[in-house]
Amino acid sequence: MATSCRQRPALQSDSSEQNRFMEKLMAKIFRFYDEQSLTDVTFKVSNPTAHVPAHRLILAAASPYFENLFKGNKGNKPIIEINDIDSDIFERLITFCYTGQALITVTNVGAMLKAAIRLQLDDAITRCVEYLMAHIDEYTLHDAYMLERETRCEILKEKIFEYEIQNFMEISQSDEFLNFDVEKLQRILESDNLNITREEVAFEAIKRWFNYDVAAREKQLPLLIACLRLTQFDADFLLTHIQPLPGCELLAFKAISWISKPEARTKINMRFTEPRGVSAANCNEKTLLVVCSEETEINPKVLQYNKAEGKWQEYASIKYDHYGCRTILKDDNILFIGGNKNGAPSNIVRSWNIRSKTWQNLPAMKQARWRHCVVELDGKIYAIGGREGKINLTEDRAMSSVERYTTSDGWEFVSSLIVGRFDVSAVTFNGKIYTLGGYDTVFNNLKSVECYNPDLNTWTFCADMTECHYYPGTAAHNGHIYVVGDCFRSRAVERYDPQQDTWSKICSLEVGFGCKACVSLDNKLWTIGGTSKSGDKSCVSVYDEENDRWGQKGSSPETDIRSCVVVPVALLTSNE
């Protein structure tokens, strides 16, 4: 009795032999097709009229359309008419059934996709969609939308959605965006992988869509606002921009409550409380890392900031027996430079790896110093000024010396400050170092600013600040240098324009009396630390440059902040 053809042959143990067999078989089949040999069906296709011979078995295996066609009455005919597909497109797709390949171009991809859908050639559909999206700039997004509406192709719909997520900032400015239906826009805004630099981008897109047809879209607006990560905004933004929107009052209230009352969050029903997830744009998401200890305490703590909750959590507790040291981020390490031990200044330099939480000794500075400042410029670490004597002794004075560290040469002196100073702050901007404020040898609080040019190895005076600042928070941000408060008293904030060499005051901190750190993060200016005048509140604040005011982002750590650095979130989670 003959072996049933329904039985599958056993797979050969040698896959390379099987591959060679299949290659020979398919080459033979395609040669039959190319030579029009042993064909058993012919298609008559129009525009222009053409006859396309083929093999029923091959087409039936490639497509359920052909399988059903040949099993039906119409399929018994030697010539079958196809009237709704152009002959060139049809022949290309018949070739695809044999080879898995077809010549797709920008001009024919639309027709190819429609025909592939008609003939139920799933692999050809996928190839057409992939080609179209890879050439979207030539095909145009407008035409892709029209093709998707015409074909209702789910694969194309999903690929366009992925494109919208990845290119949202560009698409939200297009005319097509204004005509998105609310369901489509809602799905986009809900995506955890929406490719935006900050949540305000999504908010501005919603406003643009809403303003295009206010009367028709007023009831739909709350659905879209609820898709935002509202806890990423500060309270002022929520009050100013979200609460006034029709139907969004409760959303704003919930978000403000979430931000200001962490203890009540389990009772607040919100759709989204975490920031958007990792995507191509935000895979480099960054956050704050602070080193906390009192000025005269040793063994500091390192805390990390959760932007979604506006809260701090302990990342590590460090054993370090110097106080009054200064820290700086270098690659994946925090460098602890100088400080005071047992009442005497030190020149020690140690590196603490954020990933492994391990220590490494680095070459010591040439001169012991404490209450100095440190910055990095062009990969080099600078230690600037400080105090050089023991506490409460007459030889303790402000230092003017500056030294620079490179891995190749270690520490070496460079040109000294014009005025010796300690508890000074420093920042780098446009290839130069700016030192700001501090105390001089006789404890005068300083307004003066000096600028170091590494190419000339010289310090020059810049315009004085409008106020004296003692160990202030400083940051370079959006083309300016900001000085925020000081170590104990001031809430004043000043902004320096390096091009004009001028200082101007901006809105003072509402809460932040004695602010300790200032950084640029997510294209915004942040201040960390300090308390209210009554001393009962400390916070993280973010500057709203457009409206010249500060908004609160959450509470500060209870302990005193010695320094703050901006680090990739991935750096803090990679060793978990």
The string of pLDDT tens digits covering residues 354-399 is: 988 889 999 999 999 999 999 999 889 999 999 987 655 455 688 9
From the list 469, 485, 470, 500, the residue with the least C-alpha distance to 543 is: 485
pLDDT of 21 reads: 87
Question: Count of CB atoms within 10 A of residue 81's CB?
Answer: 10
pLDDT tens digits along 104-162: 999 999 999 999 999 999 999 999 999 999 999 889 889 999 999 999 999 999 999 99
pLDDT at 515: 60
* Cα–Cα dist 359/319, whole Å: 10
Q: How far is CA 267 from each of CA 42, 111, 117, 227, 249, rounded to the nearest angstrom? A: 70, 55, 50, 19, 18
Q: Taking the C-alpha atoms of 407, 408, 413 and 418 in order, what is their torsion angle to the nearest 10 degrees?
A: -60
How many Cβ atoms are within 10 Å of 496's Cβ, its own excluded? 24
Mean pLDDT over 25-46 rounds to 88
Domain boundaries, the chain: 20-166, 184-267, 287-573
Task: Give 233-271 pLDDT, tens digit per residue.
Answer: 888 889 999 999 999 999 999 999 988 887 788 888 888
Strands 549-554 and 561-568: unpaired
Question: Helices in 174-320 by DSSP H: which ranges?
Answer: 175-178, 182-190, 199-212, 214-217, 221-225, 235-237, 249-260
558: pLDDT confidence band, cut at 50, 70 and 90? low
Contact predicate 336/319, CB 8 Å: no
Task: Check pLDDT > 80 for residue 559.
Answer: no
Give the global pTM: 0.54
Cα 523–196–328 angle (5° rounding)? 35
Span 192-199, mean pLDDT?
Answer: 85
Angle in degrees, CA 134, 136, 142, rounded to 5: 155
Q: Could you tell me how many residues make up the chain?
A: 576
Report, as an integer, the average pLDDT of 337-363: 91
Banded pLDDT at 530 (limits 50, 70, 90): low
pLDDT of 448 > 80? The answer is: yes
At 93 the pLDDT is: 95
Query: What integer best gives the mean pLDDT of the chain?
Result: 86
Question: Collapsing DSSP states into helix, strand and coil, what is residue 233?
Answer: coil
Q: What is the mean pLDDT of residues 207-224?
A: 95
Percent of the chain at pLDDT exceeding 90? 50
pLDDT at 9 over 90: no
The CATH class that applies to domain 184-267 reads: mainly alpha
Q: Does the domain formed by 287-573 have CATH 1.10.10.60?
A: no
The model's pLDDT over 453-463, given as tens digits with 9 standing for 90+, comes to 999 999 999 99
pLDDT of res. 50: 93
Give the up-direction half-sphere exposure of residue 76: CA atoms within 13 A in the CB hemisphere. Answer: 2
DSSP state of 455: T
Question: In this structure, which CATH number among 3.40.50.300, 3.30.200.20, 3.10.20.30, 3.30.710.10 belongs to the domain 20-166?
Answer: 3.30.710.10
Q: Look at 313-317, 347-351, 395-399 and tell me which has the smallest mean pLDDT.
A: 395-399
Residues 477-491 have a mean pLDDT of: 79
Q: What is the mean pLDDT of residues 21-44?
A: 87
Distances (CA, A) of 506 to 414, 491, 503, 553: 34, 11, 10, 19
Other beta carbons within 10 angstroms of residue 366's beta carbon come to 15
